[in-house]
């Protein structure tokens, strides 16, 4: 199919998954101390470091110059997000001494995405899907911050992080329209996208169970 049709198909897949997220209500856990924003922002730090590293990892093995530069821009943005969230945590009085975002290892999503070698599949899973989901998750996270009266964190996400994540998603879309012409590359990307969505749902379920909250910031 035409690359534009292929992108539409991915968009529909994503919509289905995201409409599921729309229906999620705040889940309150029995252990209320797990529900605080600093814990969610620490998860955000892990997401940002993984997103930085993944985009950087793909730079040297992506032959298409515009995609390569897209990953480079993304790596820089995600590193910037890491620093801004770290700064916000410090303002909140959270001591990050001894905190290492990767102390528990890399996520299953990171390991899966890192194994992808084809540009079209990288764009479909890493930029189009992952970043699209991030935009949605962050919208929900912003609402959570507002409902807790944390206008500063809401503002950081609304004004700085969200426009970047939106741009990463858009970049994935534009590059797919340019490069996703080959039917076998489309098929490989389609299968990988389903796997990515499945992992995203699985991880969200685990986090929700552990933290009792469904508004996990994305990246
Ligand atoms: Fe991102
Ligand atoms: Fe980010």
The pLDDT of residue 29 is above 60: no
Distance CA(65)–CA(151), nearest Å, equals: 39
CA of 131 to the centre of ligand 1 (A): 5
C-beta of residue 219 within 8 angstroms of C-beta of residue 81: yes
pLDDT of residue 205: 82
Query: What's the token pair of residue 27?
Result: 């889940």
Select the more confidently predicted residue: 70 or 28: 70
Q: Which of 49, 165, 182, 199 shows the shortest CA–CA distance to 119?
A: 182
CA of 219 to the centre of ligand 1 (A): 4
CA of 175 to the centre of ligand 2 (A): 19
Nearest ligand to residue 134 Cα:
1
Average pLDDT over residues 120-136: 95
3-state secondary structure 58-86: HHCCCCCHHHHHHHHHHHHHHHHHHHHHH
The pLDDT of residue 215 is above 90: no
Per residue in 41-94, pLDDT tens?
A: 999 999 999 999 999 999 999 999 999 999 999 999 999 999 999 999 999 999
pLDDT of residue 206: 81
Query: What's the token pair of residue 167?
Result: 């741009």
The count of C-alpha atoms lying within 13 angstroms of the C-alpha of 134, restricted to the half-sphere facing its C-beta, is: 28
Distance CA(157)–CA(138), nearest Å, equals: 7
Per residue in 30-41, pLDDT tens?
A: 335 446 899 999
Residue 24 binned pLDDT confidence (cut-offs 50, 70, 90): low
Nearest ligand to residue 83 Cα:
2
CA of 97 to the centre of ligand 1 (A): 25
- Cβ partners under 8 Å of residue 158, min gap 6: 142
CA of 41 to the centre of ligand 2 (A): 12
The pLDDT of residue 23 is above 90: no
CA of 30 to the centre of ligand 1 (A): 32
CA of 50 to the centre of ligand 1 (A): 10
């Amino acid at each position: 199919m035409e690359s534009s049709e292929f992108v539409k198909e991915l968009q529909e897949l994503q919509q289905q998954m995201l409409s599921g997220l729309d229906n999620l209500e705040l889940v309150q856990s029995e252990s209320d101390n797990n529900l605080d924003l600093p814990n969610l922002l620490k998860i955000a730090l892990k997401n940002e470091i993984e997103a930085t590293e993944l985009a950087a990892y793909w730079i040297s093995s992506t032959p298409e110059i515009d995609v390569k530069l897209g990953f480079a821009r993304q790596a820089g943005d995600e590193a910037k997000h890491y620093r801004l969230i770290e700064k916000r945590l410090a303002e909140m009085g959270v001591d990050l001494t001894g905190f290492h975002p990767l102390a528990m290892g890399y996520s299953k999503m990171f390991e899966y995405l890192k194994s992808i070698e084809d540009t079209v599949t990288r764009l479909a899973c890493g930029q189009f899907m992952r970043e699209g989901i991030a935009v949605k998750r962050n919208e929900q996270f912003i609402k959570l911050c507002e409902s807790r009266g944390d206008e500063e964190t809401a503002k950081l996400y609304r004004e700085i992080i969200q426009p970047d994540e939106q741009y990463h998603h858009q970049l994935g879309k534009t590059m797919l329209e340019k490069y996703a012409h080959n039917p076998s590359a489309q098929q490989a990307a389609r299968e990988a996208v389903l796997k990515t969505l499945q992992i995203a749902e699985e991880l969200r379920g685990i986090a929700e169970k552990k933290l009792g909250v469904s508004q996990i910031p994305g990246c």
